[in-house]
């Protein structure tokens, strides 16, 4: 089956394979987890657990296949500190293996005052830049990356992530509290920041995966994940 093609029953084969891979690696877990927004989520995605060469190489394959099939055009890759750095490196290597050699850069959290100095490392930022990260919670990392890229005179063009949670983002109020907003972080980045966003998998793909498990152990998590989607989904 060609990359990105849907199956006859409406499933995205690449996304289904990715969800299975994330479960097998222990990256996607089920239980009760508190999110940055203070919500109790029935699932948790921790890309930091793609923690060896085989896992990271396979992850890069999923990113590369999704990005290449999306038709998004870009001139280089930017990996925001910290999780975006190994993701961007692995993706650059995989794209080169597939015949698409592009340059790569990343940022430091703190500027160096010796050597080359500054916060940016790698190739000079130029042209259309693809930002690579794991998930998107509030769009904060995207805004920071956009500012860095624009300051260097390049164009923040698109963003690639592993999982789109497809849930309402939150915003900070003047009194320090937060409130839900009627769009996801991905929708915010698309509509307000003007970037294309490419996700290897989405929450709907996770729901389809769980539905296929039937009465198996993983399938038992479906009602809670669906209830969470019903409450916080966009």
Domains of the chain: 13-232 (3.40.50.2020)
At 172-182, the pLDDT tens digits run 777 777 778 88
Convert the chain into a string of H (helix), E (strand) and C (coil).
Answer: CCCCCECCCCCEHHHHHHHHHHHHCCCEEEEEEECCCCCEEEEEECHHHCCCHHHHHHHHHHHHHHHHHHCCCCCEEEECCCCHHHHHHHHHHHHHHCCCCCEEEEEEEEEECCCCCEEEEECCCCCEEEEECCECCCCHHHHHHHHHHHHCCCEEEEEEEEEECCEEEEEECCCCCEEEEEEEHHHHHHHCCCCEEEEEEEHHHHHHHHHCCCCCCHHHHHHHHHHHHHHHEC
pTM of the model: 0.89
Checking if the pLDDT of 9 tops 80, the result is no
Determine which one of 6, 34, 36, 112 is catalytic.
112
Residue 55 annotated among the catalytic residues of the structure: no
Residue 114 annotated among the catalytic residues of the structure: yes
Determine which one of 114, 126, 204, 221 is catalytic.
114
At 73-86, the pLDDT tens digits run 999 999 998 899 99
At 106-132, the pLDDT tens digits run 998 776 555 455 689 999 999 999 999
């Amino acid at each position: 089956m060609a990359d990105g093609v849907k199956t006859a029953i409406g499933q995205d084969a690449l996304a289904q394979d990715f969800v299975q891979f994330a479960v097998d690696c222990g990256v996607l877990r089920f239980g009760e987890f508190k999110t940055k927004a203070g919500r109790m989520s029935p699932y948790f995605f921790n890309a930091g657990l793609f923690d060896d060469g085989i896992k990271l190489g396979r992850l890069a394959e999923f990113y590369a296949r999704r990005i290449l099939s999306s038709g998004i055009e870009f001139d280089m890759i930017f990996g925001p500190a910290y999780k975006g750095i190994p993701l961007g490196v692995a993706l650059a290597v995989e794209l080169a293996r597939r015949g698409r050699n592009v340059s790569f850069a990343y940022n430091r959290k703190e500027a160096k005052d010796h050597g080359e100095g500054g916060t940016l490392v790698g190739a000079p930022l130029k042209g259309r830049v693809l930002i690579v990260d794991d998930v998107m919670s509030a769009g904060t990392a995207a805004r920071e990356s956009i500012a860095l890229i624009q300051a260097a005179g390049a164009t923040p063009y698109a963003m690639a992530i592993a999982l789109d949670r497809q849930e309402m983002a939150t915003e900070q109020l003047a009194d320090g509290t937060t409130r839900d907003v009627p769009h996801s972080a991905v929708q915010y980045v698309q509509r307000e920041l003007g970037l294309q966003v490419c996700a290897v998998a989405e929450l709907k793909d996770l729901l389809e995966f769980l539905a296929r498990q039937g009465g198996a152990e993983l399938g038992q998590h479906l009602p809670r994940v669906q209830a969470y989607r019903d409450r916080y989904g966009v």
